[in-house]
Amino acid sequence: MSKTVNGVSIDDTFAEAFGMTGTGIIITADSMKWARIAATVATGFGTSVIGAGAECGIDRELSPDETPDGRPGVRILMFGFSPDALVPQIRNRIGQCVLTSPGSACYSGLKAPQSIGLGKGPRFFGDGYQTAKRLGQSRYWRVPVMDGEFVIEEETGVTTDAVGGGNMLILGNDRAGLLETAEAAVEAIAKIDDVITPFPGGIVRSGSKVGAKYSGMFASTNNAFCPTLRGTVKSELGPDTLAVLEIVIDGLTSKAVADAMHAGLKAVTDTGAKRGVTRITAGNYGGKLGQHHYHLKDLI
Amino acid sequence: MSGLTLRLKAPATERINLDGITPAKLASLSTYEIAWLNVGIEKNGLAIGDAFDISGSPSETLTIEGSGATLDFVGGGLDGGTIRVVGNVGAYTGRKMSGGKLEVRGNAGNFLASGMTGGTIHILENAGDNAGGFMPGDRFGMLGGVAVVGGNIGARAGEKMRRGTIIVKGKTGENTGTRMIGGTIWAEGGIGPLPGLMMRRGTLIGPSVDSLLPTFVDCGKHDLVIMRIMSRYFKSTLGDLAPKPMPLFVQKIGGDTAAIGRGEILLPAS
């Protein structure tokens, strides 16, 4: 039984999410501008774990008081199928995108009982000129580079209690208004710690279903939610729906994902109706695949 | 003061070995058993009860009062809890210590923190030669933890030191960091003459150095991120005992180029 909040209909359904492995990394630089640049590049092409190898995004910006070296920083999160699957992602993304960024340094961004290599690969760029400094439980590698030294912590924490695939689908009759509402939801979610929205700008316009008619395709377009196919397929869309946008949420804990969904739903229902938003629903697989179910009616 | 207290009955006429006399070990013993522990080094032995008045009950804190320079290996093997010493201590203080805290309200002898792997030592006054150094039979000197010396330290501090930090509020003696393999010695009062002989890696930090070996070379002035990290780390873990941060730019002196030359002496950039 759906319910209506501020003129937006909310389906009685749930988002089905999966257990994942997650890690956090702090990137600092001489200025927030350059920390943000390094973080943005390092998390690029980190949308879907299936196609990109990892789901990555910026969690939040850090003040100098919050970073190990007292410089401005950004905390990024990465999610993958397993700790082993994250190892090459970290090595390549940090090695290609952070090591190369002027003035950057890189530290553990998650305290957890289990850890994973952070500087174990990039340190070899030092070609034998790298040195290490151990302080307490942390070991920092100093890799000589052309603007001084690239400092990178040897390990960062990793958790296998992370959640990937929290989601909501926002339906509306005005595409521009729908996008503005989705943006507002992403901004609200960004204020929640320990979560990311890994797709471009946090928003997905190409929601997928599992499988396809073509061999070798793991996922394909979610035809039931494509407005241009309404009438020709078994559609989930009403006659007034012009477009659908999805927000996918990954978090280090299930609670963080639930909090983020709550924030996103509130943002949509607060202002959505006047922007043409008519309905909110969520993606699931009948509850048989994902361990985590987030019922929309419990979160609003 | 709570916990067990050992008060020296009279100035010791022989050296006393307190290796392994730790709060954790004493906590499992009765006062009677503690009194019979041997701390002598001569043929007839010396029971703790003969050398010390024992008061209080074992806890996480052990206090040693009235000590002198004949008390060796104080805090040796300490792996947790706190040992407080009122007075001077002898050689090998904190030997192979792996955790906990050792505070000495006096001077320490030679080989302070030798073989130490963890924990914190605070000597309020001076320490002798070979602080953080190695003993014959050891592969390395200090291997971890932090030792803070309120005064000066003697010669060859950090010999074959591999990890850990020695913070000296005063000055170090000659040949600091000889054959050093890693770790940090931060001397707020300055570094003594000819440091880093055959140093492979590691860091010596100070406001000045008396003289340099010819095999150390000037690497220029740099704003090193690692200095910011160290300053913040020591401030957060040591509080008021932390060394004052260095200026943003430091002069890096690299060496010993007679070895692999990955070591460094960091001075304020002029």
Under an 8 A CB cutoff, do A135 and B233 touch?
Answer: yes
pLDDT confidence of residue B2:
75
The answer to whether residue B125 scores a pLDDT higher than 60 is yes
The answer to whether residue A109 scores a pLDDT higher than 90 is yes
A85 C-beta neighbours (distance < 10 Å), count: 15
pLDDT averaged over every residue in chain A: 96
The answer to whether residue A187 scores a pLDDT higher than 70 is yes
- List pLDDT tens digits, range A41-97: 999 999 999 889 999 999 999 999 999 999 999 999 999 999 999 999 999 999 999
Q: Six-digit token pair at A127? A: 């070609």
The answer to whether residue A224 scores a pLDDT higher than 90 is yes
SS (H, E, C) chain B: CCCEEEEECCCCCCCEECCCCCHHHHHCCCHHHHHCCECECCCCCCEHHHHEEEECCCCCEEEEEEECCCEECCCCCCEEEEEEEEECCCCCCCCCCCEEEEEEECCECCCCCCCCCCCEEEECCCECCCCCCCCCCCCCCCEEEEEEECCCCCCCCCCCCCEEEEEECCCCCCCCCCCCCCCEEEECCCECCCCCCCCCCCEEECCCECCCCCCCEEEEEECCHHHHHHHHHHHHHHHHHCCCCCCCCEEEEEECCCCCCCEEEEEECC
B237: nearest CB among A136, A140, A142: A136
Segment B56-62 shows an average pLDDT of 91
| Chain A residues within an 8 Å CB radius of B232 | 68-70
* Cβ neighbours for B95, distance < 8 A, ≥ 6 positions apart: B19, B73, B75, B76, B77, B111, B113, B114, B115, B116
Segment B75-93 shows an average pLDDT of 96
* Integer Cα distance of B104 and B96 in angstroms: 17
Q: Six-digit token pair at A83? A: 């700790």
* Integer Cα distance of A116 and A133 in angstroms: 18
Residue A267 parent element (H or E): helix A254-271
| ipTM computed for the complex | 0.92
Res. B58 pLDDT band, cuts 50 70 90? confident
Res. B66 pLDDT band, cuts 50 70 90? confident
The answer to whether residue B1 scores a pLDDT higher than 70 is no
A69: nearest CB among B165, B229, B237: B229
- List pLDDT tens digits, range A244-291: 999 999 999 999 999 999 999 999 999 989 999 999 999 998 888 899
Res. B109 pLDDT band, cuts 50 70 90? very high
Under an 8 A CB cutoff, do A69 and B228 touch?
Answer: yes
* Integer Cα distance of B270 and B267 in angstroms: 9
Please list, residue by residue across A212-246, b when 16 or more beta carbons sit within 10 angstroms of its beta carbon and e when fewer do: eeeeeeeeeebbebbbeebeeeebbbeeebbbbbb
Segment A6-27 shows an average pLDDT of 96
- Residue A33 to residues A27, A40, A51, A103, B224, Cα–Cα distance (Å): 12, 11, 29, 11, 20
* Integer Cα distance of B232 and B257 in angstroms: 30
B205 C-beta neighbours (distance < 10 Å), count: 23
Residue of B nearest to A139 (CA): B163
| Chain B residues within an 8 Å CB radius of A148 | 222-225
A131: nearest CB among B223, B225, B262: B262
pLDDT confidence of residue A50:
85
A173 C-beta neighbours (distance < 10 Å), count: 18
Segment A26-35 shows an average pLDDT of 98
* Cβ neighbours for B148, distance < 8 A, ≥ 6 positions apart: B120, B121, B122, B123, B166, B167, B169, B238, B241
* Cβ neighbours for B252, distance < 8 A, ≥ 6 positions apart: B218, B219, B220, B221, B222, B224, B264, B265, B266
- List pLDDT tens digits, range B187-199: 999 999 999 999 9
Segment B240-269 shows an average pLDDT of 96
- Residue A17 to residues A192, A204, B262, Cα–Cα distance (Å): 18, 16, 50
